[in-house]
């Protein structure tokens, strides 16, 4: 962490709260967290509903993972084409506009009449849900350098909570009022948050040079990958970590909804709450990063991620084993993720949106790949094979960290 902090310090000082005239209070930080969590929840809301959506729209078990995959593809496109705009445009206006468009896309999903409209709508939801990453970069730019890890950790804990509640709330609403209510309710909440953010956040233009055009902005994202090894390594770690994460959450509804368990939407979604430890890990990891312990946090997180698949393999025999595995897996994933983001942003704070967006493209690739692989493997060989797949991906991430830890922050 030492080298990155030294490189970032001059720019970070210019971008900190002390020179912006705006104090990033705990209340505003929590608003960032709630808005980020709500937006990212829309990406995961379909996971407990896969069996129902597959039945209602005649999508087979082997291909139902496409629902998650297309949302992640949209998310990946948004990360590359929309998030970098935070370094060029007024971030408050950008955030509000994206949230209002996201509410429109959610309404389209909630009223979709056929599979084609559903999949197009979900892809668009993924595209616009990247407002989460614009909010993370916005919050980081407003925070004093010495508190940036804590702020990123707190906002990311909101993201984690959003992911967890997405599954739980989605399951409950689907049982009470049908799956369409999940998306229509989210559209209303998203509009309310857009209004709150418009009223409370400062007008803040990104730090990219005024002469830089949109094409140059996108090319500069690729240039950052070429120049920053920490970014490359941390992005590859994100790809593998979130591939493992998606292997679990994109397929676990299938064995849980099948005999002998035959759980309801609410029962399936409730297991998202077992990962609440992930929110705690996000905040703790941010503080550890501020203290220079990023390398140790990453290694421990990846070791726990690999170990989590052992109890998960016994899901069909014990729901307690599933809960234990979920707790360990979510804690590990979020600890690594927060550490990654804090290290990546610290490389060049003036390019924060591009750095976070470029990093998160790999997150999206991993999530999409994990979803397709998990449902395909489950259809062909069952749950045990899915767990073997997740464990293998996790072990590969641990190996990558061990090989590159001297240059990965």
User: What confidence tier does 5 reach under pLDDT thresholds 50, 70, 90?
Assistant: very low
Rounded-to-integer distance, Cα 297 and Cα 199, Å: 37
Is the pLDDT at 12 greater than 60? The verdict is no
Cα dist from 10 to 6, 294, 349, 352, whole Å = 8, 21, 9, 14
Is the pLDDT at 42 greater than 80? The verdict is yes
DSSP symbol at 349: G
- Give me the CATH number covering residue 381: 1.20.1250.20
Of 64, 261, 258, 51, residue with least CA distance to 175:
51
Domain membership of residue 122 as a residue range: 2-407
Choose between 324 and 258: higher pLDDT. 324
Of 163, 377, 148, 199, residue with least CA distance to 271:
163
Residue 285 · residue 153 · CB < 8 Å: yes
What phi, psi does 174 have (nearest 5°)?
-60, -40
Phi-psi region of 201 (alpha: psi -120 to 50; beta: other; left: phi over 0): beta
Is the pLDDT at 143 greater than 80? The verdict is yes
Choose between 140 and 121: higher pLDDT. 121
Distance of CA 252 to the CA centre of its chain: 18
Find where tokens 């949109």 sit. Answer: 214
Q: How large is the average pLDDT for residues 242-260?
A: 88
Q: How many domains does the chain have?
A: 1
Q: How large is the average pLDDT for residues 387-395?
A: 97
Model pLDDT, residue 32: 94
Can you tell me whether residue 205 is helix, strand or coil? Answer: strand
Is the pLDDT at 374 greater than 90? The verdict is yes
Distance of CA 160 to the CA centre of its chain: 8
pTM of the prediction?
Answer: 0.74
The winner for highest mean pLDDT among 73-77, 97-101, 148-152, 322-326 is: 97-101
User: What confidence tier does 140 reach under pLDDT thresholds 50, 70, 90?
Assistant: confident
């Amino acid at each position: 962490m030492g080298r990155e902090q030294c490189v970032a310090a001059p720019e970070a000082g210019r971008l900190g709260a002390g020179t912006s005239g705006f104090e990033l209070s705990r209340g505003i930080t929590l608003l960032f967290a709630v808005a980020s969590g709500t937006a990212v929840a829309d990406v995961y809301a379909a996971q407990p509903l896969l069996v129902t959506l597959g039945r209602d729209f005649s999508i087979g078990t082997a291909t139902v993972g496409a629902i998650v995959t297309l949302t992640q593809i949209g998310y990946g496109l948004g990360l590359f084409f929309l998030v970098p705009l935070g370094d060029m445009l007024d971030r408050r206006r950008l955030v509000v506009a994206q949230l209002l468009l996201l509410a429109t896309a959610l309404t389209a999903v909630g009223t979709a009449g056929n599979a084609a409209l559903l999949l197009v709508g979900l892809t668009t939801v993924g595209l616009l849900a990247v407002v989460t990453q614009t909010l993370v970069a916005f919050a980081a730019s407003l925070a004093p350098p010495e508190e940036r890890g804590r702020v990123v950790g707190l906002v990311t804990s909101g993201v984690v909570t959003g992911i967890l509640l997405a599954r739980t709330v989605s399951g409950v609403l689907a049982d009470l009022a049908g799956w369409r209510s999940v998306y229509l309710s989210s559209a209303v909440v998203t509009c309310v948050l857009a209004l709150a953010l418009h009223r409370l956040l400062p007008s803040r233009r990104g730090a990219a040079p005024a002469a830089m055009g949109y094409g140059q902005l996108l090319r500069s994202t690729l240039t950052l990958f070429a120049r920053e090894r920490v970014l490359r390594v941390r992005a590859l770690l994100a790809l593998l970590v979130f591939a493992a994460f998606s292997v679990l959450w994109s397929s676990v509804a299938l064995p849980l909804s099948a005999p002998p368990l035959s759980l309801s939407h609410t029962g399936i979604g409730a297991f998202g709450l077992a990962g609440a430890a992930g929110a705690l890990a996000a905040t703790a990891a941010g503080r550890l990063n501020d203290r220079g312990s990023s390398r140790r946090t990453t290694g421990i997180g990846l070791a726990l991620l690999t170990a989590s698949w052992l109890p998960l393999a016994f899901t069909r025999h014990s729901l307690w084993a599933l809960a234990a595995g979920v707790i360990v897996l979510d804690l590990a994933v979020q600890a690594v993720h927060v550490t990654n983001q804090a290290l990546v942003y610290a490389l060049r704070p003036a390019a924060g949106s591009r750095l976070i967006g470029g990093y998160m493209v790999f997150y999206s690739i991993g999530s999409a790949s994990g979803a397709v692989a998990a449902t395909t493997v489950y259809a062909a060989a069952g749950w045990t094979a899915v767990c073997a797949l997740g464990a293998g991906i996790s072990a590969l991430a641990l190996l990558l960290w061990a090989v590159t830890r001297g240059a990965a922050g």
